[in-house]
Structure 1
Amino acid sequence: MTRQRRRSLIKAKRTGMGIALVAALSFIAGMTDAIGLRMSGDFVSFMTGNTTRAAMSLQDGNWGHTLKLLGAIATFVLGNAVGIVIAHRADNRIFAVLAAVGATLAVASVIPTTDLPLVQFYMVVLAMGMINAAVEHVEGLPIGLTYVTGALSRFGRGIGRWLIGERKMDWTIQIVPWLGMLSGALCGAVVGAYMDYASLWIVAAIVTLLAFITMLMPRSLRHRYNQGVTIRKMPAP
């Protein structure tokens, strides 16, 4: 086997594993978003929608709902930041992030919805923010797990480039998060309808199971799907 052939096979393996991971994580995000929407009436990962709804609520004079949604957006941003910190400090980044997501969802599932529904809502939003740090790119291609507008845009632009003669096909990976979220949302809608608030336990269990499955990944791949962080210290004055 030539060196070039070996490199191609290794890259194909990395890409395939990354795509499978993205599909699984997007499925979880879609499932959680559907369950969260049924529980709270608002999105737990679709912050574009929450931004628009916050503006509409503000125009209607519904200050309480506006503040709730702005709080969700801030919590989602915080979750992304926390996910990056966890990934940066852990040896197995994907496992650490998913374990934190699973633990957060498990805690949210036992919070009394009648007494602290807002706390439960924000904890689920926090978990959906954190999960984005599990996989940030696959072979240099940016990937969004809890939002698919950007992925669909990149997919459409890829079609446009193909139509004008470009034959690179790496853009096709962008449809994977959308398919994962769609199937997850359908599953979440069904589970949420039958299990109501207990359905969060199902999501927490799936995330935790996936976290342990990622432990089987080769050590050389554990940091492949996260953005590297270089910390530069300011020179002393």
Structure 2
Amino acid sequence: MIRQNRRVRLFAMGLSALAGYVDAVGFMALGGFFVSFMSGNTTRMAVGLVDHAAAASRAGGLIALFVAGVVLGSLVGRTARRPKVGVLLTVSGLLGAGACAGALGHPLIAAAGMALAMGAENAVFARDGDVQIGLTYMTGTLVKMGQRLAGALLGDPAWDWWPYALLWAGLAGGAVIGAFAYAAIGLATLWIAAGAAFLAALFAWWFDEP
């Protein structure tokens, strides 16, 4: 992350904000389950296996959908002429499908679209099959931020932690906006997310290499 230029960092922050936005919408729509934070769903699944089978099933289903989204995004990214554009158009389409499902009164299908989209989004910054910048999960980002802060205290560059803080702030800020939007208009807010992903694809088309 610290080796990326400013435009890439800001682009990653915006996409992380989109992930936070969608995750907040999914969390509120599903009553405490996540569409991008699979560590949380893993804990929900494990605890549910002990005392709440239905919760375990829902969490497990979301994990499977997220992984399927990663597979889909990776396939698109590795076969498209412009990988970032292809992945982001896929994300936009999945979120649009989720918005349609929500409008038709099928929140679980909408959640499936969200989980698939969030899995796929992680392929935006993939290279040689590996993710270079994680967009929908922040544990590793916060660890790296803490490591850079420790390095700064020991004489390393003073601001190497800042890009990681921005990425986390993007996710947190997007989640706040998503929560307000869901409280105001429900799952219709997914149209905004789909539009944002489409605009991100246009940005990638104009500013990213083939």
Is the structural similarity TM-score above 0.5? yes
**Is the counterpart of residue 55 in structure 1 residue 60 in structure 2?**
no
Cα-Cα RMSD: 2.3
C-alpha contact (below 8 Å) 1:30/1:181 kept by paired residues = yes
Secondary structure at the aligned position of 2:137 is classed as: coil
Q: Kindly provide the amino acid, as one letter, of the partner of residue 50 in structure 1.
A: N
Q: Kindly provide the amino acid, as one letter, of the partner of residue 122 in structure 2.
A: N
Q: When the two structures are aligned, how many residues end up with a matched partner?
A: 206
Against the structure 1 CA distance between its residues 215 and 68, is the aligned structure 2 distance closer, same or farther, given a 3 Å change threshold?
same
Q: Which has the larger radius of gyration?
A: 1
User: Deviation per CA, 1:59-101, whole angstroms, max 9, x where unpaired?
Assistant: 21x2122011111111111211211110111111111100000
| Identity rate, percent | 33
**Could you tell me which of 13, 19, 30 is aligned with 1:29?**
19
Counterparts of 1:121-160 in structure 2 under 5 Å?
121-136=111-126, 142-160=132-150
Return the alpha-carbon distance in structure 2 between the equivalents of residues 190 and 112 of structure 1. 17
Structure 1 unaligned blocks of 5 or more: 1-10, 223-237
C-alpha contact (below 8 Å) 2:21/2:174 kept by paired residues = yes
Structure 2 unaligned blocks of 5 or more: none
**Is the counterpart of residue 15 in structure 1 residue 5 in structure 2?**
yes
C-alpha contact (below 8 Å) 1:26/1:180 kept by paired residues = yes
Secondary structure at the aligned position of 1:166 is classed as: coil
Extract structure 1 runs of 4+ deviating beyond 6 A. Answer: none
Pairwise CA distance, 1:114:
7.4
Pairwise CA distance, 1:136:
4.0
Return the alpha-carbon distance in structure 2 between the equivalents of residues 210 and 218 of structure 1. 11
**Is the counterpart of residue 215 in structure 1 residue 205 in structure 2?**
yes
**Could you tell me which of 81, 93, 99 is aligned with 1:109?**
99
Return the alpha-carbon distance in structure 1 between the equivalents of residues 163 and 47 of structure 2. 34
Secondary structure at the aligned position of 1:111 is classed as: helix
Paired residue for 1:164? Answer: 154
